[in-house]
Structure 1
Amino acid sequence: MLTPAELLEFLSVRGGCEHRVTALLRAGRGKKASVRELGEYRLTARGEQVQATGPSGQTRHLTHDEFHAVFGSYVFTPAQATGVMTDLGPLFG
């Protein structure tokens, strides 16, 4: 599982390439601990912006600070590339 900081670093290195992750929320401790799936997100990092498309299909553009504010309490499944390139800069940079 990835923390929001690890996910943001992962996405930043692969700027322009969309990845899919499932957001998970951990609750409780010990035997009463549980993990709840919150849905699949499609994320792309481009410079200081993160494009996030949530389970509802709504797309938002977030700064790194806003990303941490929104997703800071979640953990994520390993990111999987969707094959969608939203920015061709990495190919020609």
Structure 2
Amino acid sequence: MLGAADLLTFLTQRGGCEFRVTALLSSGRGRKAVVRELGEYRLTARGSQVEATGPSGQTRALSHDDFLQVFGSYVLSSPQPTGHLTDLGPLFA
């Protein structure tokens, strides 16, 4: 499980590669604590932006600050590579 800042660091180190994560939201405490899956997101870091495709299939380009604001309240599953490259930068880095 990762926080938004850790995931952003992970993505920027692997720019151009798409990763799949599941957003989780925990609520309650103790025995009444519940973790809900909010959906699967596909994320790609490209320079100063992160392309995020949500469960609805809509893609948005988010600045790093916007990414932290949108995903900051979620816990995110470990990123899984999708095998999709959006540019050739990672191949020649």
Global fold match (TM > 0.5)? yes
The AA in structure 2 aligned to 1:70 is V
The AA in structure 2 aligned to 1:87 is D
1:80 aligns with 2:80: yes
CA distance in 2, matches of 1:69, 1:87: 26
TM-score by length of 2: 0.96
CA distance in 2, matches of 1:52, 1:66: 11
Q: Name the count of aligned residue pairs.
A: 93
Q: 1:11-61 CA deviation, whole Å, 9 max, x = no partner?
A: 111100000000000111111111000000000001110000000000000
TM-score by length of 1: 0.96
Gaps of 5+ in 1: none
- Superposed CA RMSD in Å reads 0.8
Which portions of structure 1, spanning 4 or more consecutive aligned residues, are displaced by more than 6 angstroms? Answer: none
The AA in structure 1 aligned to 2:64 is H
> What's 2:51 paired with?
51
Percent of counterpart pairs with the same letter? 72
Gaps of 5+ in 2: none
> What's 1:63 paired with?
63
